[in-house]
Amino acid sequence: MNRLHRETNLDDLCRRLEDYSRANLLAVPAQMSKMAKRLSESLYLAHSTTEARFGTICGSGCLTSADLQAAHRGKPLSPTRTEVVMGTSDSVFFYVAPFRYPNTGCGFLFSATLESEYTDRSVATPFDSGGLVNRLTRPDPTEPVREFLARHELPVPEHRSYLGLSMDVLFDKPEDYMKGTDPGWPGPVGLTGGDQRRWTHEVRIPYRVFLRGRHLQAVFAPRAWVAADSRIEALFEWCAGEDVERIVFDTPTSNDFAALSRECLAYIRRTLY
Amino acid sequence: MSAPRNVEELEIVGYANVLDRSVLPSIVPPVFRLKADTSRAFLPPYSFNAGYLCNATEVAGPELDQLLDSEEITLFEGVLPARNGFELWVDQSYECHYQPFDEVRQQLGRIAREAIEQAAAALREGDLPRAERLAGVAISADDRRVEPLAIKAAIRRTQGTTQGERLMAELAAPVLEEGLFGRLVDQYCASQPRSTPAALPVGSRRPMHGMATLKAA
């Protein structure tokens, strides 16, 4: 799908949001609120992962697509794997939000400027595309899942204008999107089920994204992993020299994801509010 | 989120991580499933309350295979009955143990103590790779211990990596004040065998080298 098609999708989605607000008597502000504008324009691109894979990523210096990982292992991807089913196995995935992929303990935040480097080749959706396979229910279950996805693929970085609009119209307040509080109104996409990822914007960038570049904003990892794994240690040393924020934290209850989420939210509040 | 489940109704089929050897031993979050309906599995994040597993993510059996394929979980060949107050951990040879919470802490504490002693001994013998590996084991076993960080800092100082030494001091900062940490690193450095300074290449010899020791004619 080309960029023009994605622009048409964005126009269509904005129109559907206007219709939705009219039908539900929701106020659409003439101008985006300051908070919605700031958050939607500057929210980071978040990629979190398991500790074992985090070490490999730090060692290789880049995030890679499932296709490239499979080629590296010399083993094809299973046809039932979510990315294969969705046709997205050539992509690296990010949420435009705090870390929301459960069961992960380490992560990277990239600044929003990363999107401007991939305007032609990357794609955004106003939900987690992988959720369409098992967790989310589409308004018309007979519509093939890939068609539903294609209808909602939006241009990058312009998808952020829809994000800002929906923060003002659908959520009680824009911070709710960031905190992970469900919107008061589900909105025009019509998905049900699942969790916050049902309405979290996703950005997919093809093949690989290098860590050691000007877009890396912050790296998060449990203290013990930074000290124990020399590949993680080396990335943290590089970050120190480049003024990339390094967030280390303890995981006393061994619930790494809870600690990771808490640290990420605190960092976003500190830097974007 | 699934409804709370009595832990006694569950069994463990694996853990929600894929571990690299560099981070062993490690406590891991179990992947549970219902004993009465083995097609229903429960993944972290979750919490425990009064013998109940709360706020877990429920997935269907086939989804476990997908997670295994995408290297997000490790599955056992058999199953373990779930017990309240128990923790699952993986030792340095990838063997899994499921024990009461206090026993796990004791075991890991012992592994950390032994690894610190062995790492310090390796450092005294000048075997830096072995000292580094054992310090890693100690950190993974008990992340509250500061000695393995000091050993790694001493190794980095010996290697001339000031940034690495500084990073270890930062990691230790919540536990030990910087000056005290520095003294600990000094001690570990002093314990290393003195190496004979390597002979400088001829071209790099300083012009006045050895002049002061020459006898006057």
Length of chain A: 273
- Predicted confidence (pLDDT) per residue in B14-65, tens digit: 999 888 888 899 999 999 999 999 999 999 889 899 999 998 989 888 788 8
- Check if B65 contacts A (Cβ < 8 Å): yes
Report the CATH fold assignment for B104-190.
1.25.40
- Among chain A residues, CA nearest to B46: A255
- Asked if residues A178 and A30 have their Cβ atoms less than 8 Å apart, the reply is no
pTM for the full predicted model? 0.89
Among the partner-chain residues A50, A81, A228, the one whose CB lies closest to the CB of B22 is A228
pLDDT of residue A135: 86
Question: Is B160 buried (19+), middle (13-18) or exposed (0-12) by CB count in 10 A?
Answer: exposed
Residue B71 phi/psi, 5-degree rounding, is 55, 40
Please check the confidence at residue B146 and state whether its pLDDT lies above 80: yes
The average confidence (pLDDT) of chain A is 94
Percentage of chain A with pLDDT > 70? 98
- Among chain A residues, CA nearest to B143: A224
Q: Which of A65-79, B48-62, B92-106 holds the top average pLDDT?
A: B92-106
Helices (H), chain A: 3-23, 34-42, 51-60, 66-73, 82-86, 113-116, 131-134, 145-151, 159-169, 175-179, 223-228, 230-242, 256-272
Residue ranges covered by each domain of chain B:
5-94, 104-190
Please check the confidence at residue B201 and state whether its pLDDT lies above 50: no
- Predicted confidence (pLDDT) per residue in A218-269, tens digit: 999 999 899 999 999 999 999 999 999 999 998 866 668 889 999 999 999 9
Average pLDDT over residues A195-207: 97
The string over A54-80, giving b where at least 16 C-beta atoms fall within 10 Å of a residue's C-beta and e elsewhere, is: bbbbbebeebbbbbbbbeeeeeebeee
- Best residue in A91, A198, A223 for a mutation probing chain B (most B CBs within 10 Å): A223
Does the distance separating the beta carbons of A230 and B171 come in below 8 Å?
no
Average pLDDT over residues B175-203: 79
Report the interhelical angle of B147-159 vs B128-141 (nearest 10°). 150
Please check the confidence at residue B199 and state whether its pLDDT lies above 90: no
Look up the ipTM and state it.
0.82
Where does the pLDDT of residue B195 fall: very low under 50, low under 70, confident under 90, or very high at 90 and above? low
pLDDT of residue A58: 97
pLDDT of residue A172: 95
Find the range with the poorest average confidence among A70-84, A227-241, B78-92. Answer: A70-84
Residues of chain B in contact with residue A249, where contact means CB-CB under 8 angstroms, are none
The string over B5-26, giving b where at least 16 C-beta atoms fall within 10 Å of a residue's C-beta and e elsewhere, is: bebeebbbbbbbbbbbebbbbb
